[in-house]
């Protein structure tokens, strides 16, 4: 990291934050309550580590592990769900993780977006971090996560960059998906073009979560 970059970061106020998602898909109403509880539990565990260790990397590992262990999400198994997390700590370090159970019915040897850097996830300490979910082939074709980071580098907010990149993916390859984004100062973004995406964020001891488009529920640690 250059001295100029470090100096610029020290001039900015950093608000540590963590965001998680439980996959962008048509979550049935029968799973709504369980999914909402699971996503909140995961972000809370990650946030506790973020505060205790002040490490974005340790925080996302804890959050994703909680999601992988939750039967509602099936990530890391032969289920359908993808889960992910992004975080920034008080030093401005960012991290991202994405874990998937894949998609059934695909040919042997298929490589989805998750293991491809810049597609299923991407992070750059100078800018921010992204975790993607949705149709893997579409995400890979537009290098979705890296594209969002590029838009942020050009001056867009996390939310603006997320919405623009998903719009481009729809227009160019008719693909749908969702993303969670955090900048290296704690500016967050959540966007999806699928029917639903479970997500949750924690910052300043405030927990926000949602499932449907436009939904943003607010809770506090004591209410979880």
Distance CA 221, CA 224 (A): 6
Express the helix, strand and coil content of the chain in percent, nearest 5 each: 35, 30, 35
- Asked if 82 is an active-site residue, the reply is yes
Q: Which two tokens stand for residue 36?
A: 């909402």
Residue 161: enclosing H or E segment and its boundaries?
helix 158-173
Tokens 């800018």, residue located: 127
CA–CA–CA angle 71, 83, 86 (5° rounding): 135
Q: Phi/psi of residue 154, each to 5°?
A: -80, -5
Residue of 5, 77, 82, 170 marked catalytic: 82
Tokens 């890979």, residue located: 140
Task: Give residue 77's Cα distance to chain centre.
Answer: 19
Q: Which of 28, 145, 17, 25 is nearest to 86 (CA)?
A: 17
Catalytic amino acids?
Answer: 82
């Amino acid at each position: 990291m250059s001295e100029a970059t470090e100096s610029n970061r020290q001039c900015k106020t950093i608000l540590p934050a963590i965001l998680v998602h439980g996959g962008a898909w048509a979550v049935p109403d029968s799973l709504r309550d369980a999914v909402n509880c699971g996503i909140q539990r995961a972000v809370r565990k990650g946030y506790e580590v973020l505060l205790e260790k002040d490490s974005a990397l340790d925080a996302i590992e804890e959050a994703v592990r909680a999601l992988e262990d939750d039967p509602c999400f099936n990530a890391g198994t032969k289920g359908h769900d993808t889960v992910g997390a992004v975080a920034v700590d008080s030093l401005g370090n960012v991290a991202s993780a994405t874990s998937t159970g894949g998609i059934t019915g695909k040919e042997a040897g298929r490589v989805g977006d998750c293991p491809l850097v810049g597609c299923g996830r991407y992070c750059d300490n100078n800018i921010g971090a992204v975790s993607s979910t949705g149709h893997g082939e579409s995400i890979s074709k537009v290098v979705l996560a890296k594209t969002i980071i590029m838009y942020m580098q050009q001056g867009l907010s996390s939310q603006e960059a997320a919405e623009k990149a998903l719009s481009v993916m729809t227009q160019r390859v008719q693909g749908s998906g969702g993303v969670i984004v955090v900048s290296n100062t704690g500016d967050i973004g959540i966007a999806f073009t699928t029917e639903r995406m479970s997500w949750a964020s924690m910052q300043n001891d405030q927990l926000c979560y949602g499932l449907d488009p436009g939904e943003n529920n607010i809770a506090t640690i004591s209410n979880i």
